[in-house]
Structure formats: C-alpha cells, structure tokens
C-alpha cells in the first residue's frame, strides 16, 4: 500500500475515521499510523489538515449523492424502479458517515452549507422521481422531503449498527412502508 498510496487513500482513511470516531479522530498522526506510512506521506499530498478536510467533504458529496444517483439511473429506466433502487440502496447503508457529516456540519458553517446544498440536491432528485411516477407536482416536494427526513431518521436511529442482518431487516421494513406509499396519488 505504501508504494501506491495517493490522496484518495488519505481521504478514504479520513472518512473512515470520521464515520467511526468523529471529526476529532481525523488527525494526521493517527491516519498515518492506520495507513502504516509516515506523516511525510501526508504532507506530500496535502498542505495541511484543512486541505484534507476539504477533500473529504468533496469526496462525501460525490460518493454519497452523485455516485448513488448515477448508479440508480444506470440500474433502472422506469421512475418507479429508480425510486425503489434508490431507497433500497440508501436504506441498506450503515449511515455512520452520513451522521458524522451532519455532526460536523453542526460545528462548521462551511460544511453546513455543503450539507444543506447536498440535501437540496437529493430532495430535488427524489421529488422529480415522485413527479415522474404520477404524484401531483404540488405534492411531490412534500413527499420527497418527508421520505428524506425518514431516511435521515433511519440513519440516526441505526447508524453504525454492527449487525448487518439487523440493518437489512430495518431496510426491508422501511421499504415495505415507503414503496406502497410512493405509488399512491
């Protein structure tokens, strides 16, 4: 790993530390030890910790939103199938990084702005899918916001659940409730 270590390895390690232990765990020394490299490797790729943190925010924005939307769009063409694929994908995630980003956003206005922008993009995507399955436009936004808030609550209540089987069961239960509601006008 030492020979192929690049910025993305540091960013991934930072995001893992954030998800598992919080922002205070994202420290150069600790990450270097986890990656089994020297601090010099860090400074080869980043100016300072703030540079790493900025890259982590961008990586989260991309992986937790743009990449998921791209995968959903590639997997399904019908809007109802995209809704199901989206909710299935998101409900099965463990949610720790999502909650850690929100905790960080509560402490940092810049990160808060990125999280708010990401929330708006996500809700707009879900709203468009609801409208595409026939939910009246005036109602699609409210349904999208409610579904998104339910997903965040799902993460908050179960973030970091070590038992993957329990996460799967909670996801299945939530899908049984959400999916029938999606098709009702």
pTM: 0.87
pLDDT, residue 141, reads: 94
Residue of 8, 143, 160 lying closest to 98 (CA atoms): 160
- In the chain, which residues have pLDDT < 70? 1-4, 159-162, 167, 178-185
Task: Report how far residue 175's alpha carbon sits from residue 137's, in angstroms, rounded to the nearest whole number.
Answer: 23
Q: What is the 3-state secondary structure (H, E, C) of 59-84?
A: HHHHHHHHHHHHHHHHHCCCHHHHHH
Q: What is the pLDDT of residues 133-168, one digit of tens each?
A: 888 988 899 989 988 998 898 888 875 555 777 767
How far is residue 16 from each of residues 35, 78, 136, 148, measured CA to CA in Å?
12, 34, 40, 24
């Amino acid at each position: 790993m030492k020979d192929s270590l690049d910025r993305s390895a540091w960013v991934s390690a930072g995001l893992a530390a954030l998800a598992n232990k919080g922002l205070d765990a994202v420290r150069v020394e600790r990450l270097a030890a986890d990656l089994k490299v020297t601090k010099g490797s860090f400074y080869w790729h980043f100016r300072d910790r703030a540079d790493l943190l900025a890259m982590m925010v961008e990586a989260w924005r991309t992986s937790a939103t743009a990449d998921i939307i791209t995968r959903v769009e590639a997997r399904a063409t019908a809007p109802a199938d995209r809704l199901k694929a989206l909710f299935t994908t998101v409900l099965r995630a463990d949610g720790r990084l999502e909650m850690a980003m929100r905790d960080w956003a509560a402490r940092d206005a810049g990160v808060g702005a990125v999280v708010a922008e990401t929330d708006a993009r996500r809700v707009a995507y879900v709203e468009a899918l609801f409208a595409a399955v026939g939910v009246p436009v005036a109602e699609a936004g409210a349904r999208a916001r409610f579904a998104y808030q339910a997903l965040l609550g799902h993460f908050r209540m179960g973030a970091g659940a070590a038992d993957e089987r329990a996460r799967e069961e909670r996801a299945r239960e939530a899908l049984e409730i959400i999916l029938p509601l999606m098709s009702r006008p």
